């Protein structure tokens, strides 16, 4: 742990997101198990992922952003509010222009700029889209620790990485299994499934480097990552978890995921 503590925030964020990427790959490797994963199980896993992301958005991102703005007195909510809205707006713009396809949707319902790309590529792009704020959140969290704010702790950043890593497992499965059902080989299904997590280390390095070099934007950056994550949860993850008729089970998965992330953050912070 001492070795890890001595590393730069950029390196810490990179290592943390290599772990989260690895968890995505582990989830994608489910296709090699030889047995199909039911839609019920996939919906519960997606619900769990949504719960983790919601809890992480508050405890690991929004709450520290508000605490860092105490010096603003009655207006301490401004950085969190502005950053949160900007994060959601950024993801909305990406959502408009990036071609992608949600897990349970037919090819005809592909979103973003019109393209003739096949369903497999569009599905991977959809998951990649909501891995961007996850990587950014981890990077900003480690950058906040290096900036020396009392509300930002190494344990909290590590808890965030662990929580996102745990929920990346079902995300990897949620990509590879549908691709396998579409007729892709197990190897290709795994490759595309794990590839959806490759964006996280890139986003994490950018996030950590940005806030480390420009500390005044840190509260805004934390809230920005939270807004982006909540946008993904509401626009994509929760609707997909409710689409196959297992809404109650998916909702309990969400509650369990929220609880796990809350425990991690409180215990390690």
Spell out the domain ranges in the chain.
9-30+38-268
Enumerate the β-bridge partners of residue 100: 111
What are the pLDDT digits (tens) for 58-68? Answer: 988 998 899 88
Sorted by sequence, the CB contacts under 8 Å of residue 265 that are 6+ apart come out as 55, 56, 59, 60, 156, 159, 160, 163
Enumerate the β-bridge partners of residue 111: 100
Q: Is the pTM of this model over 0.95?
A: no
What are the pLDDT digits (tens) for 167-181? Answer: 899 888 888 888 888
pLDDT of residue 116: 80
The model's confidence at residue 107, banded by pLDDT at 50, 70 and 90, is: confident
pLDDT of residue 193: 85
Alpha-helix runs per DSSP H in the chain: 2-5, 9-28, 39-56, 63-67, 78-97, 119-147, 154-181, 186-195, 199-213, 218-232, 238-241, 247-268
What are the pLDDT digits (tens) for 124-168? Answer: 777 777 788 899 999 988 988 877 777 678 888 899 999 999 989
Mean pLDDT of all residues belonging to the chain = 87
The model's confidence at residue 21, banded by pLDDT at 50, 70 and 90, is: very high
């Amino acid at each position: 742990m001492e070795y890890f503590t001595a590393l730069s925030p950029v390196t810490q964020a990179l290592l943390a997101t290599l772990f989260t990427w690895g968890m995505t790959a582990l989830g994608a490797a489910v296709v090699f198990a030889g047995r199909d994963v039911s839609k019920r199980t996939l919906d519960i896993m997606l619900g769990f992922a949504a719960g983790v992301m919601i809890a992480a958005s508050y405890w690991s991102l929004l709450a520290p952003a508000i605490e860092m703005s105490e010096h603003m007195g009655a207006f301490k909510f401004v950085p969190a509010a502005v950053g949160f809205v900007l994060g959601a707006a950024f993801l909305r713009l990406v959502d408009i222009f990036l071609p992608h396809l949600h897990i349970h949707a037919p090819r005809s319902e592909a979103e973003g700029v019109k393209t003739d790309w096949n369903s497999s590529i569009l599905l991977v792009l959809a998951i990649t889209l909501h891995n961007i704020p996850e990587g950014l959140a981890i990077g900003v969290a480690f950058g906040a620790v290096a900036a020396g704010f009392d509300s930002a702790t190494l344990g909290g950043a590590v808890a965030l990485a662990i929580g996102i890593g745990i929920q990346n497992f079902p995300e990897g499965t949620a990509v590879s299994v549908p691709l396998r059902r579409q007729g892709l080989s197990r190897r290709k299904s795994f490759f595309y499934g794990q590839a959806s997590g490759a964006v996280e280390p890139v986003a994490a390095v950018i996030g950590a480097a940005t806030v480390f070099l420009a500390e005044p934007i840190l509260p805004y950056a934390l809230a920005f990552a939270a807004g982006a994550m909540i946008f993904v949860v509401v626009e994509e993850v929760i609707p997909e978890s409710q689409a196959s008729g297992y809404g109650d089970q998916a909702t309990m998965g969400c509650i369990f995921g929220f609880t796990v992330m809350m425990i991690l953050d409180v215990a390690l912070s």
